[in-house]
Amino acid sequence: MTTISVAGAEIDTRHYIGGQRVSSAETFTNTSPIDGTFLGEISRGGQSEADAAVAAARAAFPAWAALGPQGRGVLLHKLADLIEENNETLSQLETMDNGSLLRSHRRGVMPRVAMNIRFFADWAINELHHEKFETRGHTNNVSWDPSGVAVLITPWNAPLMLATWKIGPALAAGDTVVLKPAEWTPLSASFFADLTKQAGIPDGVFNVVQGYGKEIGSALVAHPDINRISFTGSVPTAKVIARAAADNLTPCSFELGGKSPMIVLEDADLDLAAEIAVEQYDNAGQVCLSGTRIFVHENIADEFAKKFGEKASAIKQGDPRDENTDIGPQIHQVHFDRVKGFVDRAKAEGQEIVWGGEPNDELGGLFFKPTLVKNPTEGSEIVTSEIFGPVLCMMTFKTDEEVIERANGTEFGLAAVVVSGNQEHAKKITDVLVAGTIWVNCFFVRDLRAPFGGSKKSGIGRDGGTWSFDFYADVKNTVVSPNGWKE
């Protein structure tokens, strides 16, 4: 069987290389995290499939680059149209494969996936220019040239959303692409490949290979004939990729993990703060940006905890296909065990678990209850490590100086949330927080024009607007003298 049927569509389980479906002798098994349903045997690529995909992308590069932003934009807009037309199939597929909410895929995620493609296509056409400037009568002309073959490696927590943050700017910049999705969520990328074909994107411009990170992933990132590596995933994997990329000096963009602070100041609207705090359980806590360390001023801590408790106890955990469900399962048994391990060790250390702290036995399978750890010991692993599950820590603080020091006291710097009724007070805090994105009195507002990425170990580089093109393109300055050289 090389296809599986989901929501009335046939999804291919093979690689997509040079516009053709290619199978591997070996496969790996893909199951749904919702109930363990067998989804399919997926082609398990290695060195030869990596070589074939890079060769196909290399061969397609000159013509794709020569098409220019306008020519590419027509095809990319057609692709975005097809994503919108196939919203239902993509939504059901993603929910089956990674267990996140069907309603948010239908209403939020898949429309954003289409927007990721449109936005960068238009940005390449309309916004990629620099004021020409003069140097003693010579004109500096800055341009963003296609750079070659971009290898994109993505995680499982928001498969197509995160992949298209990379695919959009890479293709719009004129690069050709080899995408390797995470092995726990291979399906939406495969269906997406079919849409690129229908959109008329030439064979070889976009390729998808399936398999394990240590096999085909490491073959791709060590490949001498690639020009960019864009990776979203964990810090340990990023270190392995950086070492492999070093041999060829391949430029890397890294979007990595976090252990973000959420700070509730004494002057905060506590209903708003509680609402934002329970949002941190979104996607069963499998969100890199989550504010998992909640710092609350000691004078309002009891009232905040009461409001938080009311909202948290109303969270409905269940089948992500159900309209009323708020959070679903963990992605995979391996990940479930990892999350449970953190909580079990916290319990063994005597940390105070206020909510949850155990699997949801009523639902069984991979469902872990939303969990809150109160005032955990400073420096304990539940406070310092990224858990990537529905586990929040709540701590109190006395002064601004103290909370700033504790919030910044982490190896990560991805995001932060500040809740305050006083803009000046909030600014005093945000001015000195170290994070790629900070939200004040809100959460998860993401404009594609804005830079997105992490400080410290949360990443290297920024996505969004021209920042994306600075990475995927070769930025060039051509200095022209109109009347001979006048030094």
Q: Which residues lie near ligand NAD (CB under 6 A)? A: 153-157, 162, 180, 182-183, 212-214, 217-218, 221, 232-234, 237, 240-241, 255-258, 288, 386, 388, 414, 454, 459
Q: How far is the CB of 388 from ligand NAD (least distance, A)?
A: 5
Q: How far is the CB of 47 from ligand NAD (least distance, A)?
A: 13
Half-sphere exposure of 101 (CA within 13 A, CB side): 20
Nearer Cβ to ligand NAD, position 230 or 396? 230
Q: How far is the CB of 72 from ligand NAD (least distance, A)?
A: 25
Nearer Cβ to ligand NAD, position 121 or 387? 387
C-alpha span between 391 and 355 (Å, rounded): 9
Q: For residue 274, what are its two tokens?
A: 């509680």
Instruction: Specify the amino acid at residue 470.
Output: D
Beta bridge partners of 20: 17
Nearer Cβ to ligand NAD, position 227 or 237? 237
What's the maximum distance between 2 C-alpha atoms anywhere in the chain? 81
Q: How far is the CB of 482 from ligand NAD (least distance, A)?
A: 45
Supply the residues annotated as catalytic. 255, 288
DSSP string, 70-132: HHHHHHHHHHHHHHHHTHHHHHHHHHHHH---HHHIIIIIHHHHHHHHHHHHHHHHHT-----
Whole-number Cα distances in Å, 219 to 234, 237, 317 = 18, 14, 39
Pick from 464, 462, 455: nearest CA to 260? 455
C-alpha span between 180 and 335 (Å, rounded): 20
Q: How far is the CB of 447 from ligand NAD (least distance, A)?
A: 15
Q: How far is the CB of 219 from ligand NAD (least distance, A)?
A: 8
Q: In degrees, to the nearest 5, what angle opens at C-alpha 147 toward C-alphas 146 and 149?
A: 110
Q: In degrees, to the nearest 5, what angle opens at C-alpha 405 toward C-alphas 402 and 411?
A: 150
Q: For residue 356, what are its two tokens?
A: 């949850």
